[in-house]
Amino acid sequence: MSGFFVVFEGGDGVGKTTQIELLARALRAGGREVVETREPGGTELGRELRQAIMHGGHVAPRAEALLYAADRAHHIATKVRPALERGAAVVQDRYIDSSVVYQGGARGLGDEVARVSEWATEGLVPDLTVLLDMESVPERLARELDRVERETGGDRALIRESFLALASREPERYAVVDASQSVDDVAADVRVAVDSALTKVGLAGLPAAHAGVEPWGTP
């Protein structure tokens, strides 16, 4: 596969959406096709599953894990792999680590959750996982929580530790970025990590940022 697969992980409210947009813009400036996507909900079927998982009534924990895995299986097979095969960069909001942390850890389902997702994706591993790490999410980001956030997000410290533990197992494939910095400083750290990961897989790095005001250019 000639494309580049980068995933953003982290707790709720750490700024994944903003950073994904900024990175996508920088990759596009280098002339690449970029696919911005997310789990759950990156496909039409995925949007239905997202609705069922996050905004419906009670879902048994194992059913919840399988619904995330079903979303993932369809998303990877029909959207992500085809994009990587035609050489695109895929910038994705959440992947297997979220299942390991929320269903495996917070829901207590354990390591089998990772194996279910590996089966679902036929073992697709990101070139780089950016973990946006933040000790606590500012009050201003507090908002209406979905069911999964309400039920599993309570122990933010545990969720943070679980993500950090996954990153420390494979430091060469992860970039842990301090998400409590300003948006521009987080973006600069992400950029350095992506640039080095692109080079590592033999692709051209990101175009040089212009010195001064807006490193990402005008939207």
- List of residues contacting ligand TYD (CB under 6 A): 12, 38-40, 54, 68, 93-94, 98-99, 102-103, 146, 148-149
Q: Closest separation between CB of residue 97 and ligand TYD, Å?
A: 8
Residue whose CB is less far from ligand TYD, 32 or 94? 94
Residue showing tokens 């209406």: 144
Residue whose CB is less far from ligand TYD, 76 or 148? 148
Q: How far is CA 202 from the centre of its chain?
A: 22
How far apart (Å, rounded) are the C-alpha atoms in residues 127 and 214? Answer: 27
Q: Closest separation between CB of residue 201 and ligand TYD, Å?
A: 24
Nearest to 89 by CA among 148, 2, 184: 2
DSSP string, 21-77: HHHHHHHHHTT--EEEEESS-SSHHHHHHHHHHHHSS---HHHHHHHHHHHHHHHII
Q: Closest separation between CB of residue 132 and ligand TYD, Å?
A: 11
Which residue has its beta carbon closest to ligand TYD? 102
Residue whose CB is less far from ligand TYD, 54 or 73? 54
32 neighbors 203 (Cβ within 8 angstroms): no
Residue whose CB is less far from ligand TYD, 49 or 198? 49
Q: Closest separation between CB of residue 1 and ligand TYD, Å?
A: 22
Residue 197, H or E segment: helix 183-200
